[in-house]
Amino acid sequence: METVILDVGKIDHVLTDGMIHYHMMRFCQNTRPGFLARNTPTPLISDSLGSLDAVILESMCTKGTGSTHMDWSHELRSFSNMKLQLPHHWVVFGITPCGVSAISTFYASVASLVRWLGHHGNAQQDLANLADVWALGQDMSNAESWTAVF
């Protein structure tokens, strides 16, 4: 995560065009931690993702306002951060907060794995029973009995 944060600083110094800077922040730097967010339990990574969110928002405000945002009140700065992070279809910037999206992506990935294991966990199968290997003690045919083991 520190590498992504360092790269944001490099982009700030190299890119002078605001639109290219925005696209690099939104579509490159903001999406880079996606793999970690999908595969790491949120409590283990949330501090790092929060730091990355703060650095990206600071970079966007610095580039967009020419550093005049340093004089803004806390309320105005919070409002601008909220506007930067609102969904793109609301005609705003759409920089998804990594810390918040990590929660849903992690659980969506886990649910996909559980569903996949459920399809491979029948007794008639000749290969190893994947549900028994990957979800010890879990009855994949009964979603009510599933428990999280971290």
The tens digit of pLDDT for each residue in 44-80 reads 888 888 899 999 999 999 999 998 999 999 999 999 9
The tens digit of pLDDT for each residue in 4-37 reads 999 999 999 899 899 999 999 999 998 888 888 7
Q: What does the mean pLDDT of the chain come to?
A: 81
Instruction: Based on the fold, state whether residues 55 and 123 are members of the same structural domain.
Output: no
The reported pLDDT for the residue numbered 114 is 75
Residue 150 resides in a domain: no
Q: Compute CA distances 66 → 33, 48, 58, whole Å.
A: 27, 26, 11
Instruction: Based on the fold, state whether residues 77 and 134 are members of the same structural domain.
Output: no
State which residues form the domain around 109: 104-145
**Best CA proximity match to 149, nearest among 134, 130, 129:** 134
What is the 3-state secondary structure of 75-96? HHHHHHHHHHHCCHHHCCCCCC
Instruction: Based on the fold, state whether residues 96 and 119 are members of the same structural domain.
Output: no
C-alpha 107: how far from its chain's center? 12
Instruction: Based on the fold, state whether residues 13 and 56 are members of the same structural domain.
Output: yes
Q: Which two structure tokens, joined as six digits, stand for 78?
A: 């919070």
Instruction: Based on the fold, state whether residues 92 and 136 are members of the same structural domain.
Output: no
Instruction: Based on the fold, state whether residues 44 and 60 are members of the same structural domain.
Output: yes
Residue 150: exposed, middle, or buried by beta-carbon count in 10 A (0-12, 13-18, 19+)? exposed
